[in-house]
Amino acid sequence: MRAERILDITAGLLVQHGYRRVTIDDVASRAGVGKGTVYLHWKTREALFWSVLQREALKLFDQLVADLRADPELALPHRLMREVFLQGVRRPLVRGLLLSDPVLLGNLAQDDSVRSAQQELAENPDYLQMLSEEGALRPGLTAAAAVHILSSVTRGFSAADELGEDDGLALEERADLLAYVLERALERDTPMSTEALATLNKRVVDMFTEMADGHRDQLQRAY
């Protein structure tokens, strides 16, 4: 599909050059189409770039939904955020969203839609409220406090990885450390029952499915 090719080209250019150095002319030239063709789908450069980020978030949400359905324990924060961390390393655009990378995102870093996507990925208060309601959090830990911990720890690990410091740890080891910290900071010491975990998992699957469908609907309007 032509629109998908334009998004593919734009994604590659954003990763390679960053927001400020990519123009509609660059995209059109690489895609082998006229500027007018690009503007048929996206009225502004910012709208095109946001669609690229939105599509990347959608791919991640779809993957998380599939993984959650296969593994109920992935609904727990130490498991879920370990996976988001790994995906952020493997997907530069996801990492840019998580870290509000000013080079990659440019003016979009301050956009409300981008901020909402960041929240969905790294500090979703609805998710933490679900954990609280289903008894997955440590006794006495409020959902608001859990949001602060989850956001701070996850962003800290992602930022440290972005710096590329050679600490001698493999990617999987760093992901395991993130899971270790979050499990001890956020989660109850006693395992959840199979029934309670299944209930939590279903709620988390429904949450990510709703997010994914929202992004999918918006993207399809451009096509």
pLDDT digits (tens, 9 = 90+) for 10-33: 999 999 999 999 999 999 999 999
CB 68 within 8 A of CB 74: yes
Q: How far apart are CA 197 and CA 216, in angstroms?
A: 28
Q: Is 86 helix (H, G, I), strand (E, B) or coil?
A: helix
pLDDT reported for residue 28 = 95
CB 161 within 8 A of CB 218: no
Q: Where do the H-state alpha helices sit in 91-188?
A: 92-99, 102-105, 112-122, 125-133, 143-163, 171-186
38-77 per-position pLDDT tens digit: 999 999 999 999 999 989 989 999 999 999 999 999 999 9
Question: What SS3 state is found at 137?
Answer: strand
Number of Cα atoms under 13 Å in the Cβ half of residue 110: 2
Residue 66, Cβ neighbours under 10 Å: how many?
12
Closest CA to 53 of 1, 89, 3, 105: 105
- In the structure encoding, which two tokens stand for residue 219, read together? 């993207």
Residue 132 near residue 142, CB atoms below 8 Å: yes
* Alpha-carbon dihedral angle through residues 186, 138, 66, 215, given to the nearest 10 degrees: -70
Which residues of the chain, if any, have pLDDT below 70? 161-166, 222-223
Residue found by looking up tokens 């946001």 in the block:
50
- The pLDDT, as a whole number, for residue 166 is 58
In whole angstroms, what is the distance from residue 189 CA to residue 177 CA? Answer: 17
Residue 90 CA to residue 145 CA, distance in Å, equals 29
pLDDT number for residue 165: 56
Per the listing, tokens 């990763």 go with 15
50 secondary structure, DSSP code? H
Type of residue numbered 213: D
Domains and CATH numbers, the chain: 56-222 (1.10.357)
* DSSP code at position 84: H
